[in-house]
A and B are shown apart, each in its own frame.
Chain A
Amino acid sequence: DVVLTQTPLSSPVTLGQPASMSCRSSQSLVHSDGNTYLSWLHQRPRQPPRLLIYKISNRFSGVPDRFSGSGAGTDFTLRISRVEPEDVGIYFCMQATEFPLTFGGGTKVEI
C-alpha cells in the first residue's frame, strides 16, 4: 500500500501569515495515464472533509486562491499564503493513483 507521511503533525500559525505543510509518498504517485492523483482536503471538527486541491495543484471550485499545491513524484506541498481564521482544522493529503486509496495522517493547523 502507498504510505503518505505528512509533516508537521501540528502547525501553530499566525493570522495573515503564510503556512505550509508537506506530504511524502512511499512510492511515486504518477499513474500509468501520466497524471498524479494527489489531492489535499481540509476538515473542521465534526464536519466531513472538504476538497481543496486535486492533481497536485488544481484548486477545486470555490477554494480561495490563497491555497496552492505543488510537487511531483513523491514529494508534495500545500501552502496557504495568508492564514484566515476559517483555515484552522486538519489537512489531509490523499492519493488516488492506486488501490487501496490512502491518506496521510494529517497536519493540524491551529492559531
Chain B
Amino acid sequence: QVQLVESGGGVVQPRRSLRLSCAASGFTFIDFAMHWFRQAPGKGLEWVALISYDASNKKYGDSVKGRFSISRDDSKNTLYLQMNSLQPDDTAVYYCVRDPETTALGWSGGFAIWGQGTMVIVSS
C-alpha cells in the first residue's frame, strides 16, 4: 500500500541543523511532486516546502526560506528536508505529503497521502 515514513526528528539546540528523511513506497515516486508540512504543538497546519517530480522546481514558505532545503533521491524513493539555523519556532511535527494525483479529470488538489510525522524540538 501507499506509505510515507518520516525519520530524523529529535531534540536540537537553536541555530543547529537537522535533516529529515521520508521513505516512500507503494507508488511510483518519480511521478509525483512531494511536500513537507508541519504542525506546531497544539497549533494548526503549515505548508513548508514543495519539490517537483523532477526536482526542477522548489518552493518554500516564507518562514523557512533561506534556511530549509528540500531535495529528493529518486534512486532511494526518499524525500529530504535539510533544516539549518533552527529556531524554537520550528518546533513541530513534520509531515511528508505526496502531491495529489492527476487523473483524466485533472489535478484533484486533495492531499490524501500523509506520513505519520516526525517530531522536531528546538530547545537549549
Contact = CB atoms under 8 A, between A and B. Distances in A.
Interface residues of B, number: 22
A54 B44 contact: no
A92 B108 CA distance: 17
B44 A92 contact: yes
Interface in B15-39: 35
Interface SS, A side:
loop
Given A48-B95, A99-B59, A54 B45 contact: no
A55 B108 contact: yes
Contacts of B14: none
A72 to B, nearest CB: 15
Interface string B58-83: 01011000000000000000000000
Nearest to A97: B109
B110 A60 contact: yes
Contact of B45 (A1, A37, A58, A103): A103
Contacts of B61: 100
A104 B75 CA distance: 36
Contact of B111 (A39, A58, A100): A39
Contacts of A49: 45, 111, 114
Contacts of A50: 114
Interface of B: 35, 44-47, 50, 59, 61-62, 95, 100, 106-112, 114-117
